[in-house]
Structure 1
Amino acid sequence: MTEFQFPPPPESQSGDGRTPQQMPHDRQAEEAVLGSVLVNPEVYYDVAQFLTADDFFLHRNRWIWEAYTSLQEQRLPVDILTVSEELGRQSRLDEIGGPAYLTTLINNVPSSLHAEAYARVVEETATRRRLLAAANQIARFAYQTATSIEDVVNESEKSIFGVSERRLTHQLQPIKRVLSEYYDRIDYLARHQDETIGVPTGFIDLDRLLGGLQSSDLLIIAGRPGQGKSGFCLSVAKNAAQIYKRHVALFSLEMSNEQLVQRLLSQETGIDSQRLRMATLRDDEWPVFTQAVSSMGETQIYLDDTPAITPLQLRTKCRRLHMEVGLDLIVVDYLQLMTGDTRIDNRVQEVSYISRNLKALAREL
């Protein structure tokens, strides 16, 4: 494999002999965060919601944050004495510069009131470093000519997704704000009684019972083999896209895209699937078939027949499609044919892992 290096950023190519630009980091911000916690331990709970030890560039600062975390897990107070003892127990106190460095952190804090702002700077520089690492990894994948381009693209998307996924955090909210949003929603629904709240399925009784398919929900259609689970899901997808103009992504691990289209057209025209497969249409059925093809072609249904798709692959495709057109409904047929992103010997645990990831995707989108 060919070894290479990225060229330094334009601003570092001044021709005056300066070294290339260093990895993004902010030493003062890191020290300000650590010092703020020593001055006011309560700020740890604010910044620990989004900041981790890996976000610190300097090793000694990373070790100090790990000591804070360890003390919190032991339910011990965080101060210069307890932190020194914890670092000493880990044989790291001398390596960070001893108690003198901790004292320096306290003395150099501009204001502990701005701890969250300092922490955001640390988080931002850490994200830039991860993006650079992902870019290097993608470049290495691209140079591996023996690897298929599909695998290269999938691994590249996985690298970028790993960076963006870390930024998906949800802060605690006061109940007053949630209640206000809920009141507004109930008020809207009261004034629009005839409208379906979520994505309509086209089945009147089911929509009346559920209020449509709700956003952020993961719904699993269960039943014995041959009971019509796939047919029901296809009907819901077709109705949502064709009648209610919603954007639908349909992933089939069991049927090809051509088979999916065949079943959708069979539902739309009432022509037997077997006769569609064999193209034995009567003369009076051709106009109906042509009209159905034209009508279905106007819908916003997106098909994918990747076999044994993993949760990460599905998530990547859905996120990309959601950014391009916006998704209202995702249908996966069916769960048992999916595989995990990592090898898991226990199939029950693997299905549980897949279900968790699908639920996380529903919440995210």
Structure 2
Amino acid sequence: MSTDEQIPQRRFDRVDRGKNASQIFNKLPPQDLDAERGLLGSILLVNDVIDEVADIVRPDFFYLDSHQKIFASILRLNDAGVRGIDAVTLSNDLEKRRDAENRSQLEEIGGDDYLISILNSVPHAAHAKYYAGIIRDKYIQRSLIYACTEILQESYDDSRETPEILQQAEHKIFEILQNQENTEKMQLKDILLDAFDRINDRLEREGEVSGLTTGFNDLDSKTNGFQPTELIILAARPSMGKTAFVVNIAEAVASHAHAGVVIFSLEQSKLELAERLLCIRAKIDGHKLRKGDLTDEEREKLVEASAQLSELPLYIDDQPARTMAQVGAICRRLKRRHGIGLIIIDYLQLIEPEDKRAPREQQIAL
């Protein structure tokens, strides 16, 4: 970095309470201007790296506003099919874009001289992806600082409910986790490799259920078990045994597939579901249990069933008026801690929408 180049003094002054927070953030955010210039210079040297690095960084990942404008211009020209993106074509594109005061973006970034200095900042383009990785990592660090600053502000706000603050905090962090992932495989040849891995796994386990076993042999033979990423909707008229059916499946998955299961019961209480599970495991008539008409042998079976069920990775949430955001947050937390393999919502129509004006499919989307 040249001695005369000044890093913008962006300071995190959004937290106006808590002296410790102000002291912590009274410093420059994470950034690497050499990596930013290195990536831009690499692109100007070899345009072929554009598509590779575009999967790793976006214009807003750059710290300097001028670098954001330059990279956005590069992407525009590339999308337009321009061949030979260099200092000249960039200069022309940036010159055309003007603000309300008729000041061009070319002038804002420092003119043609700055574009030439970027081009001369790297001898070759071999490290383009490495530079892009650094830029992405610094952006993630800045995003964490911004998110934590907002969490601090909300935590000092006495008008906010604590559960709401916790939910928002988790959402902010999860959003950063999602954004740090690179673009998933898109080319068919890469997808086919994954497909053959799955096919080979099935061939090696011929005759076995590859997914989560439901405890119903006929269902397993038709579906090969419940598979990852599947959305399965159980539909029937009222009082046809939908809840009993899914509780049986939950018990089977937790027992035999050794996968964690979470049940969101927005209609029946967790105690009611616990009694259903006890009856399933102990093979006792639920009607007799509700009447309290049990033999000594059946009582012993209940005690034994309770001990067995206590060892299963099975979780029940019966809080009413859950929103989809809350359901998603709980599932992510359980997945991290306990490896949840199956999520059951009984039933979907009772989920409280975040925005009642949104289309129904968006209201219930995780």
C-alpha separation in 2, matches of 1:178 and 1:347: 32
TM-score by length of 1: 0.84
2:34 is the counterpart of 1:34? no
TM-score by length of 2: 0.84
C-alpha separation in 2, matches of 1:106 and 1:94: 17
Contact kept, 8 Å, 1:130 with 1:163, in 2: the verdict is yes
Instruction: Give the structure 2 partner of residue 22 of structure 1.
Output: 28
Runs of 4+ in 1 over 6 A off after TM superposition: none
Deviations 1:188-213 (A, max 9, x none): 43333243211111110111122111
Secondary structure of the residue that 1:112 maps to in structure 2?
coil
2:248 is the counterpart of 1:242? no
Instruction: Give the structure 2 partner of residue 223 of structure 1.
Output: 236
Q: Which amino acid aligns with 2:60?
A: D
Instruction: Give the structure 2 partner of residue 155 of structure 1.
Output: 168
Deviation at 1:99, TM superposition (A): 1.8
2:92 is the counterpart of 1:80? no
Contact kept, 8 Å, 1:46 with 1:116, in 2: the verdict is yes
Deviation at 1:117, TM superposition (A): 0.6
Contact kept, 8 Å, 1:339 with 1:350, in 2: the verdict is no
State the identity %: 31
Instruction: Give the structure 1 partner of residue 117 of structure 2.
Output: 104
Contact kept, 8 Å, 2:136 with 2:180, in 1: the verdict is no
C-alpha separation in 2, matches of 1:349 and 1:241: 29
Instruction: Give the structure 2 partner of residue 263 of structure 1.
Output: 276
Instruction: Give the structure 2 partner of residue 71 of structure 1.
Output: 77
Deviations 1:78-101 (A, max 9, x none): 332332222222221111111221
Q: Which amino acid aligns with 2:75?
A: T
Instruction: Give the structure 2 partner of residue 16 of structure 1.
Output: none
Structure 1 stretches lacking a partner, 5+ long: 10-18, 358-365
C-alpha separation in 1, matches of 2:182 and 2:75: 19
Deviation at 1:30, TM superposition (A): 0.9
Contact kept, 8 Å, 2:212 with 2:225, in 1: the verdict is yes
Closer/same/farther in 2, CA of residues 309 and 88 from structure 1, 3 Å limit: farther
Closer/same/farther in 2, CA of residues 124 and 2 from structure 1, 3 Å limit: closer
C-alpha separation in 1, matches of 2:172 and 2:16: 20
C-alpha separation in 1, matches of 2:149 and 2:290: 48
Alignment length, in residue pairs?
Answer: 344
Deviation at 1:22, TM superposition (A): 1.1
Q: Which amino acid aligns with 2:148?
A: A
C-alpha separation in 2, matches of 1:349 and 1:83: 43
Instruction: Give the structure 2 partner of residue 49 of structure 1.
Output: 55
Closer/same/farther in 2, CA of residues 288 and 175 from structure 1, 3 Å limit: same
Closer/same/farther in 2, CA of residues 344 and 165 from structure 1, 3 Å limit: farther
C-alpha separation in 1, matches of 2:40 and 2:63: 13
2:17 is the counterpart of 1:3? yes
Instruction: Give the structure 1 partner of residue 208 of structure 2.
Output: 195
C-alpha separation in 1, matches of 2:291 and 2:194: 55
Closer/same/farther in 2, CA of residues 346 and 157 from structure 1, 3 Å limit: closer
Closer/same/farther in 2, CA of residues 129 and 256 from structure 1, 3 Å limit: same
C-alpha separation in 2, matches of 1:347 and 1:190: 42
Task: Note the aligned Cα RMSD (angstroms).
Answer: 2.7
Contact kept, 8 Å, 2:213 with 2:256, in 1: the verdict is no
